[in-house]
Structures are given as structure tokens and as C-alpha cells.
């Protein structure tokens, strides 16, 4: 196989894995809703952060399941970043929870993380 064929094959595999991951996440969203979670807002991070204002709950989706927390468990939230060896920086909104490990939601850049943090604080009152 030539290098062009390897690149095409790699692209097809990555696209297939992306679609498979999307399907799994969609399945978790449906399972969460079947369990009674009413989505009122979504912060488009990685993984997705869903909010139910009427139930005062937060849910974090991942391909293998979801985590669900009440607003009362949320002690606070903050933007965190890691500087990598290159100039890239990865920004996350960390949910600081009572009795649970912190949960981090990734965002592409600092402005998006800041906007998500402000929206989360507005919606949860934290």
C-alpha cells in the first residue's frame, strides 16, 4: 500500500470511530432521559454537560455511561488549564463536588471555557 492509501485508510478508521463514539454518547443521552432527567440546557464541552433546571441536577455524559449530581453537591466550579510542551493549552471547567472526585469538561480554548463557566454559574447559582 502506498502512503496515500494509508492516509485514506486512517481517515476512514478515524471517521468510523468518531461515528461509533457519537452513537454511544447519543445512547447515554437517551438512557439519561429515560431515567427521568429533563434537559433544559447543554454546555457543549467534552464530555457534554447537561443541566436540568427544574430538577436542579447536572449530568455529564460519556460513552460508557453518565454521572448525575444535584446542584447541592456542586461546591463550585473553576477554569483549569494545562500548558503542553508546545504552545497549545487545554482548558477545562472543573466541577468541584461534595463527596465526589472533581469532574472536568474540556473546551477548545479559554474564551469558550470562560463562557461555559459563567453559564454554569448562572444556571446553578454557584
For residue 47, say if its preceding peptide bond is cis, omega within 30 degrees of 0: yes
Q: Give the pLDDT confidence of 76-125 residue by residue, as tens digits.
A: 999 998 876 454 558 999 999 998 899 999 998 999 999 999 999 999 98
Domains contained in the chain, number: 1
Question: Cα–Cα distance between 23 and 43 in angstroms, integer?
Answer: 19
Answering whether pTM is above 0.85, one says no
| Residues spanned by the domain of 51 | 3-124
Q: What is the CATH number of the domain that holds 17?
A: 2.30.29
Pairing assessment for the beta strands 74-83 and 65-70 based on DSSP bridges: unpaired
User: What is the pLDDT at residue 87?
Assistant: 42
Q: Give the pLDDT confidence of 49-72 residue by residue, as tens digits.
A: 999 999 999 999 988 889 999 999
Amino acid at each position: 500500500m502506498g502512503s496515500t492509501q494509508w492516509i485514506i485508510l486512517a481517515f476512514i478508521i478515524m471517521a468510523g470511530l468518531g461515528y461509533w463514539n457519537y452513537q454511544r454518547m447519543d445512547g447515554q443521552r437517551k438512557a439519561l432521559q429515560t431515567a427521568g432527567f429533563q434537559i433544559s440546557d447543554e454546555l457543549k464541552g467534552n464530555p457534554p454537560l447537561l443541566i436540568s433546571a427544574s430538577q436542579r441536577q447536572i449530568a455529564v455524559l460519556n460513552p460508557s455511561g453518565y454521572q448525575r449530581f444535584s446542584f447541592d453537591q456542586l461546591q463550585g466550579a473553576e477554569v483549569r488549564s494545562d500548558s503542553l510542551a508546545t504552545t497549545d493549552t487545554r482548558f477545562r471547567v472543573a466541577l468541584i463536588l461534595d463527596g465526589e472526585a472533581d469532574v472536568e469538561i474540556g473546551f477548545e480554548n479559554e474564551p469558550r471555557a470562560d463562557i461555559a463557566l459563567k453559564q454554569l454559574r448562572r444556571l446553578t447559582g454557584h
